[in-house]
Structure 1
Amino acid sequence: MDNMQILEPARPVRGGYKVDVSRGERNGRVSSEWFNRPDDERYLSLDDLWASVKARSERSTSRIVETAKIHVEASRDNAERLQLILPKANAPLAPTHWAFGQLASLVGAPASYLRQLPAPLAGINLQYGLSGHRAEQIKTFETEDGRTELRAVTGPDYGRIYDHELVEAVQRIAGNGTGDTRWKVPGTLDWSTGVYNPDVDITRDTTTLYASDRDVFLFLVDDHNPIEAGKLPDGSPDLYFRGFYCWNSEVGAKTLGIASFYLRAVCQNRNIWGQEEFQEITIRHSKYAASRFAHEAAPALTRFANSSPSGFINGIKAARQQIVARTDEDRETFLRKRGFSKLEAGKIIDKVLVEEGHPPESIFDFVQGITRLARDKTQQDTRLELEGKAKKLLERAG
């Protein structure tokens, strides 16, 4: 792990920061991860997480084999206890649940159906599919862990980015992720006071550093360094923090991705509140994926970590200063020209009036009204469409 660019953390502020989470968007991606991860997939530091996935990669090997030369053995009742005999392999391979599904998919057999069959029948189906596999070759990913596990089965051109490589890229800017740099596991929002406290103990329940046998997911924030971008209706500062999350699967369960944004708070359930300026990079594990990660994704993460928030602040200020409507007729016309129905326009105006204490006048007012309307939508496509319109409006103001 060379070229470390560690930024010193700021001194903590007692009691935390008063924030207004009624503004901006809510992002539930991290909360979904938090809710679904068992304890053995939760890590308390980047060092511990890296050590786990690095050790796993060092016990792993990959090879390209001809599918016609793979032999399926079925000696138990459970279909997923099948073993594969590969050419020149020292021992049979036991496919993981994930690899079994990949293998079934590659040969055109429904995994859910095979799992219901007795092992001998499932083995016969897989063997038949392998013998007639048109692609002729597959790439295996095997890990020694007391027994040799088959962790992934992909096409021969699969471009693997190891989980530890992503963790190392994060460590270059975040150190251990526990507060030794400005980037750390987030604090929590106190809903009773509206105060976001960045100084919360990192436990299995609060951590946002996750790794399983098929993926990694990391979420860190710079929450000791608030960014002021304008004022709230009561005259207090409208505070933001920088944040990012990233993910990868070295076994093909998902793409590699990095998302960066500004946020106002993170709650106990790890929902992101008051999100603005969401940006995302994804890389498919195609033939040149490793090169794209090295030359595109990892540098982008470093740039965001070291960048000045001045562009974001100036964009918010420009949106606040750009007055586009002074009468009710102006407001409705402004929204209708941007694709909102008369009913939607009325709801957006009402949202701003209730929560800001005045009807929308500036670009920023309309953006806040649109994002608040989006929160009320239960259908994801509708919500994302509204959030997209709000984002475009804000970008044009900047």
Structure 2
Amino acid sequence: MNTVISYPPPASSGFKVDISRGERISRVSSEWFSRPDDERYLSLSDLHRAVGVRTERARARTVEAAEIRVEASRDNAERLSLIVPGGREPLAPTHWSYGQLCGLVGAPASYMRQLPAPLAAINLQHGLLNHNAEMVKTLEMDDGRVELRAVTGPEYGRIWDRDLIAAIMNIAGNGTGDTIWKVPGLLDWSTMTHNPFVDITKDTTTLYASDRDVFVFLCDDTHPIEAGRLANGEPDLYFRGFYAWNSEVGSKTLGIASFYLRAVCANRNLWVRRVGAIN
């Protein structure tokens, strides 16, 4: 049986909101403040393409910790490389995977980064040879040089960032207004009006990805829902939204939060009516 979903009529312009009836949530704002330009995307297709490239170049495998060899580079005394069983060439750990590797062997990463590479290599090698868990899982990527993107326990279950973005695109299209789900508009503080129709730029986008995670915030602010009347007789309006996040290298777990909200300001603070989260 086909189910027909009806939506409120689309807004043709901005609409008045009362943020005093909502709770301010700064989760998206913290992402907005911290993301450099090269981690900001203007559409879901651009974001999917970027994270898809690294998935296609990735290789995951499980190896014996004691069989990994840590070497200090002869060409660069400050650089370490790892020789993994079955690997074609040395792996260059990223900042993130180096911290994971230190954590696995019980070495403080901040201290290890201060050591000369040969001394750090000796400490890491000792830790790997005496690692309690015999096996580790590596995630490697060939991007001109072969990088070690992640080192985790052998039971780590990876969800690719590409797969999360693809799932979101199934309902949100490009995230730019081609479906009801889109990058949000902005609250005009002078008139207390939420304007859904704002150009998507590096400054307004809410589609983010770094080398260790993805974060997406979308809403349906062109179909506000009337929840009653305000004290002055005007309609009390809110709209639907959600954000989702993931890390394929182990910096966080897959999660999604959905909610009703009343407005989104320029620095991406949300005034939320109700929140539900799944981690």
Tell me the TM-score range normalised by the shorter chain. over 0.9
Paired residue for 2:87? Answer: 89
Question: Separation in 1 of the partners of 2:194 and 2:201?
Answer: 18
Paired residue for 2:77? Answer: 77
Secondary structure in 1 aligned to 2:233? coil
**Which of 44, 57, 66 is 2:42 aligned to?**
44
Secondary structure in 2 aligned to 1:264? strand
Paired residue for 2:277? Answer: 280
| Alignment check: 8 A CA contact 2:247 2:254 kept | yes
Question: Separation in 1 of the partners of 2:135 and 2:86?
Answer: 15
Question: Separation in 2 of the partners of 1:202 and 1:66?
Answer: 47
**Which of 143, 146, 150 is 2:144 aligned to?**
146
Question: Separation in 2 of the partners of 1:191 and 1:106?
Answer: 49
Question: Separation in 2 of the partners of 1:7 and 1:201?
Answer: 27
**Which of 64, 67, 80 is 1:66 aligned to?**
64
Secondary structure in 2 aligned to 1:135? coil
Q: How does 1:220-299 map to 2 (within 5 A)?
A: 220-273=218-271, 275-282=272-279
Paired residue for 1:210? Answer: 208
Matched, 1:17 2:18: no
Q: How does 1:28-177 map to 2 (within 5 A)?
A: 28-75=26-73, 76-78=76-78, 81-177=79-175
Report how far residue 8 of structure 1 moved.
9.5
How many residue pairs were aligned? Answer: 273
Q: How does 1:193-208 map to 2 (within 5 A)?
A: 193-208=191-206
Question: Separation in 2 of the partners of 1:77 and 1:99?
Answer: 19
Amino acid at match of 1:169: A
TM-score, with length taken from structure 1? 0.67
Secondary structure in 2 aligned to 1:160? coil
Amino acid at match of 2:25: N
- Amino-acid identity (%): 68
Which protein is richer in helix relative to its size? 1
The unaligned stretches of length 5 or more in structure 1 are 1-5, 283-398
Matched, 1:182 2:173: no
Amino acid at match of 2:274: E
Higher relative contact order (CA 8 A, sep 6+): 2
Report how far residue 87 of structure 1 moved.
1.0
Question: Separation in 1 of the partners of 2:38 and 2:257?
Answer: 25
Secondary structure in 2 aligned to 1:98? helix
Q: How does 1:320-335 map to 2 (within 5 A)?
A: none
Question: Separation in 2 of the partners of 1:225 and 1:49?
Answer: 25
Report how far residue 140 of structure 1 moved.
0.0
Question: Separation in 2 of the partners of 1:11 and 1:231?
Answer: 19
Report how far residue 77 of structure 1 moved.
3.3
Report how far residue 277 of structure 1 moved.
1.9
Question: Separation in 2 of the partners of 1:278 and 1:69?
Answer: 47
Higher Cα radius of gyration: 1
Report how far residue 12 of structure 1 moved.
4.3
Secondary structure in 2 aligned to 1:205? coil
Secondary structure in 1 aligned to 2:222? strand
Question: Separation in 1 of the partners of 2:9 and 2:47?
Answer: 25
Amino acid at match of 1:265: A
Cα offsets for 1:40-67 (capped at 9, x unmatched): 0000000000011111100000010101
Name the CA shift for 1:142/1:29 in 2 (closer, same or farther; >3 Å). Answer: same
Amino acid at match of 1:161: I
Secondary structure in 2 aligned to 1:84? strand
Amino acid at match of 2:190: S
Amino acid at match of 1:88: G
TM-score, with length taken from structure 2? 0.95
| Alignment check: 8 A CA contact 1:9 1:180 kept | no
Secondary structure in 1 aligned to 2:239? strand
RMSD: 1.5
Question: Separation in 1 of the partners of 2:166 and 2:34?
Answer: 24
Name the CA shift for 1:144/1:8 in 2 (closer, same or farther; >3 Å). Answer: farther
| Alignment check: 8 A CA contact 1:10 1:182 kept | no
The unaligned stretches of length 5 or more in structure 2 are none
Question: Separation in 2 of the partners of 1:249 and 1:42?
Answer: 16
Secondary structure in 2 aligned to 1:166? helix
Cα offsets for 1:312-345 (capped at 9, x unmatched): xxxxxxxxxxxxxxxxxxxxxxxxxxxxxxxxxx
